[in-house]
Amino acid sequence: MTSFPLALTDLTTLVDDRIYESQWRPQLDRAGVYLLEIDVRHVSRREDFFDCAATGLGLGPDERLRKWSGLEDRIWGALAEHPADSGALVLRHADAMAGPALGDLLQAVGVFTDLAKAVGPGHEGSFPRDVQLFVILTGSGDSFPP
């Protein structure tokens, strides 16, 4: 397994969105990692989140997500099809969700971190290979350091 292109030590990382866009994203693109970005800046309900996730996954309008387990299954499948052994699940502008949809934001982070553990190094599940997967939340303000 190759090392992840950023010096991340925790499964979940907070970063300023401008820094992510100008520095992190280009580095992830160059490294060829699996990258799923979900822009949540206009999410105020769970249904909005699932619509944004479907867009990030490139699903068509007839392939709606309705449950957390469905989202997890779709990401699992996308990871299995991608040849990279590292990846990032990125919630862009997560600070916008913190007020109106905090519970859904926390649920999404929980689903993503559980998935990262399930496919990560030393996993004992049914995933075909180890994938070093990180969860990145971008935003602005003091909670999202450079």
**Residue 101 structural domain:** 12-139
Number of domains in the chain: 1
Residue 21 is assigned to a structural domain of this protein: yes
Q: How confident is residue 5, by pLDDT bands cut at 50, 70 and 90? A: low
User: 39 with 92: CB under 8 angstroms?
Assistant: yes
- The domain that holds 118 is classified in CATH as 3.30.370.10
Instruction: Give the strand pairing for 12-16 and 34-39.
Output: unpaired
User: Does residue 22 have a pLDDT over 90?
Assistant: yes
Query: How far apart are alpha carbons 64 and 134 in whole angstroms?
Result: 25
Q: Per the domain annotation, does 127 fall within a domain?
A: yes
In a domain, residue 126? The reply is: yes
Residue 129 lies in a domain: yes
Query: Above 60 in pLDDT, residue 3?
Result: no
* pLDDT the model gives residue 139: 95
SS3 14: strand
Report yes or no on 144 lying in a domain: no
Residue 88 lies in a domain: yes
Residues 121-136 pLDDT 10s: 887 778 888 899 999 9
Phi, psi of 87 (to 5 degrees): -165, 170
What would you measure as the largest C-alpha separation in the chain, in angstroms? 39
- Domain for residue 3, yes or no? no
